[in-house]
């Protein structure tokens, strides 16, 4: 995504038997307009696209159905309806879906808008990442970094429902429900809160950025959508120990499995990926990208959760991509090499 638009690509699979897929290119679907987001970087901007996920359910399924999605085909408007192929989230609190099922069941891949399916702006929600429950795909999770930061849960009909599990292990506020300690505590400004949620197989990873109170505002309120992080210069001054984030692994039921031993190296972490075995010295390692600071990618031992090293360039220096967001290996078939 870029601002209020998601750009779609295929190819870049160097060993593909199909010559057309060896080069990165776009087909008939080049861009999708995302509700609740735009490219305006001033205070007048309505929001930005923060998360996009693929929904593997058949287009004819009843999971996350979109109806009446407009698209122009050969100068004529069609209304598409079907299970969403892609789901989008914005930091303005919107969740939308895009389908490619035409009126007669045919595949229609043309530029057009996604359909707005949930708007949490009135509740102060700011979504920074989304993920589908492993396995059935009937549940959608969203990392809300807004006025009441937490993992939100939605059913297959786009309806918000009580979140099962995913208690914040770093929250220091009052119990959410004194009668049910398993629900954990409320977060307070200064605590790490969910910044993204990612699935790898049947595993679920939640990255946490450090929250803060608004400048000059009440110390008990959150500066919604704004993380407390260090820039690259401040990060270097802290000897690369910004200590501005955490990563926890959960099972599919929302029970915490472990917390990665980052040793204070995280700085608003967002992207998480598991490197394939063929990925050189870091093959099989769990990779976590810092959004803030220099934008470094940390590698963790997937067995112990211990920090191992940074992803490094040809000169042996830690790779740095300021503003780094997602991490994703290709599928080796239609988009990107698997390694």
Per-residue pLDDT of 230-274, as tens digits, reads: 999 999 999 999 999 999 999 999 999 999 999 999 999 999 999
Percent of the chain with pLDDT over 90: 86
Q: Which residues pair with 256 in a beta bridge?
A: 250
Long-range contacts of 219-224 (CB under 8 A, 24+ apart): 219/189, 220/188, 220/189, 221/147, 221/189, 222/146, 222/147, 222/148, 222/149, 222/187, 222/189, 222/193, 223/189, 224/124, 224/126, 224/145, 224/146, 224/147
The rounded mean pLDDT for the chain is 95
Q: Three-state DSSP class for 232?
A: helix
Region of poorest pLDDT, from 95-99, 101-105, 191-195, 210-214: 101-105
pLDDT score of 228: 98
Q: Say if CB 305 and CB 247 are below 8 A apart.
A: no
pLDDT score of 205: 99
Q: Say if CB 143 and CB 127 are below 8 A apart.
A: yes
* Predicted confidence (pLDDT) at residue 71 exceeds the cutoff of 80: yes
* Predicted confidence (pLDDT) at residue 333 exceeds the cutoff of 90: no
pLDDT score of 1: 59
pLDDT score of 136: 82
pLDDT band at 36 (very low <50, low <70, confident <90, very high): very high
State the residue for tokens 């067995």.
303
What are the tens digits of pLDDT across the range 78-136?
999 999 999 999 999 999 999 999 999 999 999 999 999 999 999 999 999 999 999 88
pLDDT score of 337: 87
Q: Say if CB 82 and CB 60 are below 8 A apart.
A: yes
pLDDT score of 77: 94
Which residues make Cβ contacts (< 8 Å) with residue 28, sequence separation at least 6?
109, 110
Cα 223 to Cα 124, 202, 243, 247, 306: the distances in Å are 11, 33, 19, 21, 31
Q: What are the structural domain ranges in the chain?
A: 1-118, 120-156+180-339
Tokens representing residue 176 in the block: 């959410």
pLDDT score of 15: 85
* Predicted confidence (pLDDT) at residue 2 exceeds the cutoff of 70: no
* Predicted confidence (pLDDT) at residue 218 exceeds the cutoff of 80: yes
* Predicted confidence (pLDDT) at residue 42 exceeds the cutoff of 90: no
pLDDT score of 124: 98
What is the arithmetic mean of pLDDT over 322-335? 91
């Amino acid at each position: 995504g870029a601002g209020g638009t998601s750009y779609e690509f295929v190819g870049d699979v160097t060993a593909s038997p199909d010559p057309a897929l060896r080069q990165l290119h776009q087909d008939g679907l080049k861009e999708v307009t995302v509700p609740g987001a735009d490219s305006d970087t001033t205070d007048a901007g309505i929001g930005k696209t923060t998360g996009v996920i693929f929904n593997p359910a058949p287009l004819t399924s009843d999971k996350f159905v979109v109806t009446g999605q407009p698209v122009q085909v050969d100068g004529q408007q069609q209304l598409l309806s079907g299970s969403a192929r892609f789901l989008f989230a914005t930091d303005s609190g919107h969740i939308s879906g895009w389908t490619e099922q035409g009126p007669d069941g045919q595949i229609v891949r043309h530029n057009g808008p996604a359909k707005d399916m949930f708007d949490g702006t009135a509740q102060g929600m700011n979504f920074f990442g989304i993920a589908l429950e492993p396995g059935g795909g009937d549940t959608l999770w969203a990392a809300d970094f807004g006025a009441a930061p937490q993992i939100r849960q939605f059913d297959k009909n786009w309806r918000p429902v009580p979140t099962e599990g995913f208690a914040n292990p770093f929250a220091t506020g009052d119990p959410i429900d004194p009668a049910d300690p398993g629900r954990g505590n409320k977060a307070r400004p200064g605590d790490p809160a969910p910044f993204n949620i990612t699935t790898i197989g049947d595993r679920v990873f939640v990255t946490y950025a450090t929250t803060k109170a608004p400048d000059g505002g009440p110390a008990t309120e959150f500066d919604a959508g704004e993380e407390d992080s260090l820039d690259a210069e401040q990060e270097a001054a802290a000897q690369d120990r910004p200590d501005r984030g955490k990563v926890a692994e959960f099972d599919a039921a929302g029970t915490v499995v472990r917390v990665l031993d980052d040793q204070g190296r995280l700085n608003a972490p967002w992207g998480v990926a598991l490197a394939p075995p063929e990925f050189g010295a870091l093959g099989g390692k769990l990779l976590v990208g810092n959004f803030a600071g220099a934008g470094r990618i940390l590698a963790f031992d997937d067995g112990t959760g211990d920090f191992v090293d940074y992803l490094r360039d040809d000169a042996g220096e830690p790779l740095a991509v300021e503003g780094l967001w997602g991490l994703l290996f290709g599928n080796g078939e239609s988009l990107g090499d698997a390694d």
